[in-house]
Amino acid sequence: MVASIAGRDGLGMTTISSTATSPRPAVVAAGNVAAKAVLAALLAHAAVHPDLPQYADKAMGYRFLVYPLAALAAPSWWALRGRGRYPHAVDLCLTAPFLLDTAGNSANLYDSVWWWDDAMHVATWVPWVMAFGFVVAPRVPQRWVVAGLVVGFGAVTHIGWELGEYVTFVQDHPSEAMSAYRDTIGDLALSIVGSVLGALAVVAIGRSDDR
């Protein structure tokens, strides 16, 4: 387990420090490699079988572009900053949301399970904001500031996601456009829940140099 110690700075604010590294780093590394391999396989399946019903009206072309870029973000950042210890936890958290979304589409869960889309707006935003939190936590000592930044990051990026969804397929899809406002408000609320959960997880874990 990561052992974190809470103290107080000169202003009386709670701070975060870390006295140990992440548990079982080999397990995290293996999970990261496995997540990337499964994501690649699922995207390949969608590319080879674009006519399957679960991929219809899902803007898969944009997913083919954005999802690999997300999976390559941490490796690129690691290489540009001079390498060192690889941030497997950050990388896994960046990959996980896109893996979950692609898996849901591949299994046709978005169209066959009525609550799946709502659940994913919570579940995918937890690791997404945790990746950001793991990056900023070592640079921001106060717990409440870290939590606020993480929630804010989640809110801003989800607004961007909703704008992207509207431009790519909602505005030209009659049934989606009719309920777009209600669905968007619900999605934003659910992503805030995921952001708060992710922020709490980052604060609870603390800071670790191996991320």
Condensed to tens digits (0 to 9), the pLDDT of residues 193-204 reads 999 999 999 999
pLDDT band at residue 176, thresholds of 50, 70 and 90?
A: low
Q: Tell me the CA distances in angstroms from 118 to 7, 37, 53, 184, one per residue in order.
A: 38, 26, 20, 11
* Average pLDDT rounded to a whole number, residues 9-29: 53
pLDDT tier at 162, thresholds 50, 70, 90 = confident
Structure tokens, 134:
């793991």
Could you tell me if 108 and 46 are in contact, meaning their C-beta atoms sit under 8 angstroms apart?
A: no
Q: For residue 183, name the pLDDT band (cuts at 50, 70, 90).
A: confident
For residue 192, give the 3-state DSSP assignment.
helix
Query: Confidence band (pLDDT; 50, 70, 90) for 208?
Result: very low
Residue 119 pLDDT > 90: yes
- Mean of pLDDT values over 102-130: 95
The answer to whether residue 210 scores a pLDDT higher than 70 is no
* N-to-C CA span, the chain: 14
- Cα 140 to Cα 145: distance, rounded to the nearest angstrom: 7
pLDDT at 25 over 80: yes
- Closest by CA to 127, choosing from 174, 167, 89, is 89
Mean pLDDT over 143-158 rounds to 95
Name the nearest CA neighbour of 63 among 81, 82, 50. Answer: 50
Query: What average pLDDT does range 50-56 have in this prediction?
Result: 89
Integer Cα distance of 163 and 88 in angstroms: 30
Write the CB contacts of 153 (distance below 8 Å, at least 6 apart in sequence).
Answer: 129, 132, 195
CA quadruple 78, 83, 87, 91: dihedral sign: positive
Listed residue (153, 147, 94, 151) closest to 124, CA to CA: 94
Cross-strand pairs, 8 = 14
Q: What is the pTM assigned to this prediction?
A: 0.79
- Report how far residue 32's alpha carbon sits from residue 88's, in angstroms, rounded to the nearest whole number: 6
